[in-house]
Chain A
């Protein structure tokens, strides 16, 4: 048995505050969200299948759950420890449109979002861009440069997606740690500058 929690130094006169910041990784299906979370997470990223309850209707019995078996949603998340009392959590958002309500919860109070885009099917990132624009949640568009994908000029991507000038567009490789770090630092800086 560990009792580490009781031994931690606490700021004098205050309660211990621990803060977890959320960053969302969004984008179309197969664009590299899971890869990006896995590249940067210090824990083995948890890929969970969430069973969804019917919202608004009580499902306090197992038979109710069984009827919802088909409704599962995949969610990936990873963690970066910043300080002993401060963590960044990366959530790879469900790609399917019918899970928008899950986005609402994930986005609530989030620091910002990375919209991963693939230039071969740029339109796949439009729903995420629209969503974060409406929510006024700071985001960056990160173009995942797959092998064989044509390298695009960020300005062209900005025009094609219809982004305003303040939203950063960066090229990245979701498999490369240094590259993902650049994306995240760009997002954090953008989020702080937007306040």
Chain B
């Protein structure tokens, strides 16, 4: 699902075309959510009118809990557009979007050690 060239061109035209995917919407329906909020698919409908292939790809990716930014990376879509489409899925009750906890509250001793180790072994 790479869209090479469409999002990095200087000419903003392709970006506007990508907004065709969202019906021109630049913001997701409902409460806003963070770029690293965790998206989890609750159910995958066999068919639901109004879902496009990108929606279906997102439902497939998020069977495994996945941060919003990663959904965008995997589909090669701009973050804003990804958020609008994920907002659609949330509105339909197909995904949960869990806000991330602030880092200074989630980092315990073990996480800290794991993060250091994870960076060093790269």
Residues of A within 8 A of B (CB): 1-6, 8, 16, 18-22, 40, 42-43, 46-53, 59-66, 68-70, 72, 75, 77, 79-83, 85-89, 91, 105-106, 108-112, 177, 181, 184-185, 188-189, 191-192, 195
Is the interface on chain B under 10, 10 to 19, 20 to 34, or 35 or more residues? 35 or more
Contact A50 B79 (CB under 8 A): yes
Would you list 17 pairs from A and B whose C-beta atoms are within 8 A, ordered by A residue?
A: A5-B64, A18-B67, A40-B122, A42-B122, A47-B8, A50-B80, A51-B15, A53-B27, A62-B16, A62-B19, A69-B12, A69-B15, A77-B69, A80-B122, A89-B36, A109-B101, A181-B119
Q: Which of B8-48 contact A (CB under 8 A)?
A: 8, 12, 15-16, 19-20, 23-27, 34-36, 38, 40-41
Beta-carbon contact of B73 and A185 below 8 Å: no
The answer to whether A80 and B103 touch across the interface, beta carbons within 8 angstroms, is no
Contact B34 A109 (CB under 8 A): yes
Contact among B63, B66, B106 with A19 in the assembled complex (CB-CB below 8 Å):
B106
Known: A49-B12, A111-B107. A83 touches B114 (CB 8 A): yes
Residue of A nearest to B8 (CB): A47
Q: Which residue of the partner chain, among A60, A82, A91, contacts B115 with CB atoms under 8 Å?
A: A82
**Chain B residues whose C-beta falls within 8 Å of the C-beta of A195 in the assembled complex:** 104, 107
- Say whether, besides A21-B115, A69-B16, A109-B102, A48 and B7 are in contact (CB < 8 Å): yes
Known: A1-B60, A106-B35. A189 touches B118 (CB 8 A): no
Which among B100, B114, B117 is the interface contact of A20 at CB below 8 angstroms? B100
Q: How far is the CA of A87 from the CA of B80 in the complex (A)?
A: 21
Nearest A residue to B15 via CB reads: A51
Give min CB distance, B32 to chain A, whole Å: 8
Q: Closest residue of chain B to A47, judged by CB?
A: B8
